[in-house]
Amino acid sequence: MIKKITRDELQRMIDSGQKFKLVDVLEESHYDKEHIKGAISIPLNELKNKAPKLLRKDETIVVYCASFDCQASTKGAEVLLSLGYKDVLDYKGGIQDYKEGGLPLEGSLHGLASKKASACSCC
């Protein structure tokens, strides 16, 4: 079963300095435009190949995508669990929910981002 995490829970993890990897599973072009501060980009279609190089199986990993409607984060969590990662959390709200909370984003749209979340093109 995939464990889900809320925006508030993610923010508490960040604020407390908890060690974890935050993974944006959208296409790299989405990541370049806008992503949660501190996240790394591993697109869903590259997760199986790149995860072993970028992630440790003993660390907490939080995956996210575009919004509650996007299924890429859930698919990403499933892939990671199938590869033997043990502590994987799915932040379902993604960029849209994070933005609605007024939390810091990075990328080429930072500061210029519209209120509408980017569309998910990976699922």
Q: Over the stretch 73-102, which tens digit does the pLDDT of each residue have?
A: 999 999 999 999 999 999 999 999 999 999
Domain count, the chain: 1
| Chain centroid to CA 52 | 17
Confidence at residue 122, expressed as pLDDT on a 0 to 100 scale: 57
Regions in the chain scoring below 70 on pLDDT = 111-123
Distance CA 64, CA 13 (A): 15
Q: What is the pLDDT of residue 55?
A: 98
Tokens of residue 26, six digits: 């959208």
**Structural domain includes residue 69:** yes
Residue 74 lies in a domain: yes
In a domain, 65, yes or no: yes
Q: How far apart are CA 82 and CA 54, in angstroms?
A: 16
DSSP H helical ranges for the chain: 7-15, 28-33, 47-54, 72-82, 94-100
Residue 39 lies in a domain: yes
Specify if 109 maps to a domain: no
Answer yes or no: is 37 within a domain.
Answer: yes
pLDDT of residue 120: 57
Compute the CA torsion angle 119, 65, 102, 35 (nearest 10 deg). Answer: -90
The reported pTM is 0.89
Could you tell me if residue 35 is inside a domain? Answer: yes
The domain in which residue 88 lies consists of 3-103
CATH classification of the domain holding 77: 3.40.250.10
The verdict on residue 121 lying in a domain is no
